[in-house]
């Protein structure tokens, strides 16, 4: 019997803990934690993500501010807004939703965020600290996956972990976290990507497979060994005959994997809610660093 990892339920439990903590701080007379988000343009998925981040903030008692800018906003105007938010002491976290319009240099924008409020963990300083296993903001998805492994008590020490996808947001930090010291971690990691030859020869030897490529049903049952743990980071919108007009599909072909795996995350309801929790966790971490002297 395989375990279906309930990311949604776990995130709700962890979010409720944050809510309690926030309420305690407020009872002691402190201000609310505050997350600011900048959304440039009108990408549908980005709008949905930012709206859900706003709802999460509301749930836990954070203040949230969303700056919605038109797609033709100049890069300088965005940099100016980031500077003004950086200088506002009562803002604990700032995220700029990606992707950005093509005329903007996402790397330049990410580097403009003060690392002290870089709750996405995308700044070079945050990534550098992560690489050196120093205290930092770990980007929300890899953080959520690590929390999930820890909460489910999944053994990672000495295990072979295959990460598929080498994006800055997920695959690369994931590969570092899984091999760093402590728990979860201590795994032997293979990082696979688009030029990996004979991918199945790697995945079929893995104890843990983390797939983050953005291609629905990319990882199939015949590519993993019996008893593997599969973490599915993909959430692709595919056209569907429902009210929304789309459904979310993961990178793992759940139906062919589920009976073979020791544990697997579903989509939706797996990694996605844990990612959202990761952002709340980082914002609270920043807040606490200011409030608790």
Among residues 98 and 199, whose Cβ is nearest to ligand GUN?
98
Among residues 45 and 200, whose Cβ is nearest to ligand GUN?
45
- Between CA 273 and CA 280, with CA 275 as vertex, the angle to 5 degrees is 95
φ and ψ of 57, to 5 deg: -60, -45
Q: How far is CA 170 from CA 197, 213, 234, in A?
A: 21, 9, 10
Dist CA 33 CA 290 (whole Å): 10
Instruction: List active site positions.
Output: 53, 97, 120
φ and ψ of 232, to 5 deg: -105, 110
Closest separation in Å from C-beta 97 to ligand GUN: 5
Closest separation in Å from C-beta 30 to ligand GUN: 26
Closest residue to ligand GUN, Cβ-based?
Answer: 98
Give the binding site for ligand GUN (CB under 6 A).
Answer: 95-98, 120, 140, 169
Among residues 111 and 186, whose Cβ is nearest to ligand GUN?
111
Helix H or strand E encompassing 160: strand 160-164
Residue 229's DSSP bridge partners are: 208, 263
- Between CA 61 and CA 68, with CA 237 as vertex, the angle to 5 degrees is 45
Closest separation in Å from C-beta 262 to ligand GUN: 28
Closest separation in Å from C-beta 168 to ligand GUN: 10
Dist CA 235 CA 237 (whole Å): 7
Closest separation in Å from C-beta 13 to ligand GUN: 21
**Are 109 and 96 in contact, with CB atoms under 8 Å apart?**
yes
Among residues 25 and 173, whose Cβ is nearest to ligand GUN?
173
Dist CA 59 CA 55 (whole Å): 6
Strand-pair category, 188-192 with 93-96: unpaired
**Coil, strand or helix at 14:** helix
Among residues 5 and 109, whose Cβ is nearest to ligand GUN?
109
């Amino acid at each position: 019997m395989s375990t279906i990892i309930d990311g949604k339920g776990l995130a709700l439990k962890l979010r409720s803990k944050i809510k309690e903590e926030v309420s305690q701080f407020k009872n002691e007379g402190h201000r609310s934690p505050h997350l600011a988000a900048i959304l440039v343009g009108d990408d549908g998925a980005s709008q949905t993500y930012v709206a859900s981040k706003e709802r999460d903030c509301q749930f836990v008692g954070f203040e949230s501010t969303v700056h919605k800018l038109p797609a033709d906003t100049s890069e300088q105007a965005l940099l100016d807004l980031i500077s003004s938010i950086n200088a506002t002491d009562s803002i604990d976290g700032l995220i700029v939703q990606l992707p950005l319009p093509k005329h903007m240099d996402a790397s330049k924008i990410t580097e403009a965020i003060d690392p002290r409020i870089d709750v996405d963990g995308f700044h070079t300083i945050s990534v550098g600290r992560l690489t050196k296993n120093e205290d930092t903001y770990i980007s929300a998805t890899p953080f959520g996956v690590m929390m999930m492994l820890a909460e489910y008590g999944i053994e990672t020490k000495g295990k072979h972990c295959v990460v598929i996808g080498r994006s800055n947001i997920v695959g690369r930090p994931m590969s570092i976290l899984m091999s760093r010291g402590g728990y979860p971690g201590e795994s032997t990691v293979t990082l696979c990507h688009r030029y990996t030859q004979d991918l199945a020869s790697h995945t079929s030897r893995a104890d843990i497979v983390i797939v983050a490529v953005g291609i629905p049903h990319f990882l199939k049952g015949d590519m993993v060994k019996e008893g593997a743990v599969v973490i599915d980071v993909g959430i692709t919108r595919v056209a569907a005959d429902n009210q929304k007009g789309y459904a979310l599909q993961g990178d793992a072909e759940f139906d062919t994997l589920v009976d073979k795996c020791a544990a697997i995350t579903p989509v939706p309801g797996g990694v996605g809610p844990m990612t959202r929790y990761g952002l709340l966790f980082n914002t609270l971490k920043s807040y606490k660093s200011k409030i608790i002297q």
